[in-house]
Chains A and B, each alone.
With several copies, the nearest count.
Chain A
Amino acid sequence: MIIAVQFWSYFADFAGCKKTEIEIENGTTLAKLHERVCEQFPKLAEAKNSTLKAVGVNYQDDDFVLSDGDEVSFFPPVQGG
């Protein structure tokens, strides 16, 4: 299945794009997708430990299992205010 992935703030600069699509197998976790993303966009790998991960409008843990149609966001620490 295909997962829509979005990068926010300077993660979009690191990735060189704001959005991409990644094909994954059924049962893939958010952690696994993050690894795939880091392989594809090496600058994001450098920020791996400070990356926040959301599916749709909610933060999710590494062991969250992705489903068809999920939209995943990767971004640096938030800075509202």
Chain B
Amino acid sequence: MKMELTISTDAIDEAALAKRREMGDGMGAVICFLGVVRGSEGDAPITAIDYEAHEQMARHQFGLIFDAIEKRWPVESVRLIHRIGVVPVNEPSLWVEVVAPHRPEAFDACQFLIDEMKKKVPIWKKPLSV
């Protein structure tokens, strides 16, 4: 399984990511998920979220999750970008792509990846307001 992980303060460029995709002839399903910063946390309006990562550990934990996916589903590739630092409202903090032969495993692997990330990958949010 091809794996690509980026943890960076750069904005996520969906169009560029789509162009760089390479997939084999046997692959029939691509799923992309974007997690986008919403304009409120709880009831309070915010302008951005400041993401902090324990980067070295985050990379390791993402790697463990990718390995678990590779064991469980016939996924050809996973690409994941988590933006850190200040991410303004309406911009994505997370981009995940899973390429697989069929839709069910693409959906299952993508949801598994995000669920596991939310349990294990050491990244935290601090909401910012004006």
List chain B residues, Cβ under 8 A from A80. 51, 53, 58, 82, 94, 117-118, 121-123
- Interface-forming stretch among A23-31, A32-40, A41-49, A54-62? A54-62
Kindly supply a per-residue 1/0 record for chain B positions 51-64, scoring 1 wherever the CB is within 8 Å of any chain A CB and 0 otherwise.
11110111111000
Tell me if B119 is interfacial: C-beta within 8 Å of chain A. yes
Tell me if B93 is interfacial: C-beta within 8 Å of chain A. yes
Kindly supply a per-residue 1/0 record for chain A positions 2-41, scoring 1 wherever the CB is within 8 Å of any chain B CB and 0 otherwise.
0000101110000000000000000000000000000000
B94 to chain A, nearest CB (A): 5
CB-based contact A75/B122 at 8 Å: yes
Interface residue tally for chain A (C-beta within 8 Å): 17
If the complex has contacts A80-B82, A81-B94, A81-B114, are A57 and B124 also in contact, measured as CB distance less than 8 A? Answer: no
**CB contact between A59 and one of B103, B114, B120 (< 8 Å): that residue:** B120
Interface residue tally for chain B (C-beta within 8 Å): 26
List chain B residues, Cβ under 8 A from A79. 118, 123-125
The total of Cβ contacts below 8 Å across the A-B interface reads: 59
CB-based contact B124/A76 at 8 Å: yes
Q: Which residue of A lies closest to B119 (CB)?
A: A78
Tell me if B21 is interfacial: C-beta within 8 Å of chain A. no
B87 to chain A, nearest CB (A): 11
List chain B residues, Cβ under 8 A from A8. 52, 54, 122, 124
Q: Which residue of B lies closest to A55 (CB)?
A: B57
CB-based contact B124/A75 at 8 Å: yes
Interface residue ranges of B58-88 to A (CB < 8 Å) = 58-61, 82
List chain A residues, Cβ under 8 A from B82. 80
CB-based contact A78/B60 at 8 Å: no
List chain B residues, Cβ under 8 A from A52. 122
A64 to chain B, nearest CB (A): 15
Q: A10-B126, A78-B123, A80-B121 are in contact. List 6 more A-B contacts (CB 8 A).
A: A9-B124, A56-B57, A57-B59, A73-B54, A75-B122, A78-B119
